[in-house]
Structure 1
């Protein structure tokens, strides 16, 4: 089991409302990432992935 959950940041920081269309996280999730414990990070990554799938891509 990996001890560290890597940030889903892909260095494409572009906010639409409160959502980053690069990684799928909300502003609050980005702000609190470093303070999150592993289970919370895992849930955040799952939510971000679901959001990214819903974003229309050209």
Structure 2
């Protein structure tokens, strides 16, 4: 489920989805908008807070690496 809330914390102290509604997968099934893999997108709703937080850090690094290409 996609919310209208920006990335970060929502009003339930849950980590909001990093989705930026620019969904387009590249050849490696990585979203060009949020930098998540298709598997990460599908698993988001089952992740706990620690897993989501770790993934957000991974996404930041992935975004940086993609910009260097």
Shorter-chain TM-score bucket reads 0.7 to 0.9
Structure of larger gyration radius: 2
User: Higher helix proportion, which one?
Assistant: 1
Taking structure 1 as the reference length, what is the TM-score of the superposition? 0.85
- Consecutive aligned runs of 4 or more in structure 1 exceeding 3 Å deviation: none
The number of aligned residues is 56
Gapped regions of structure 2 (runs ≥ 5): 1-8
Taking structure 2 as the reference length, what is the TM-score of the superposition? 0.73
Gapped regions of structure 1 (runs ≥ 5): none
User: Higher strand proportion, which one?
Assistant: 1
RMSD: 1.5
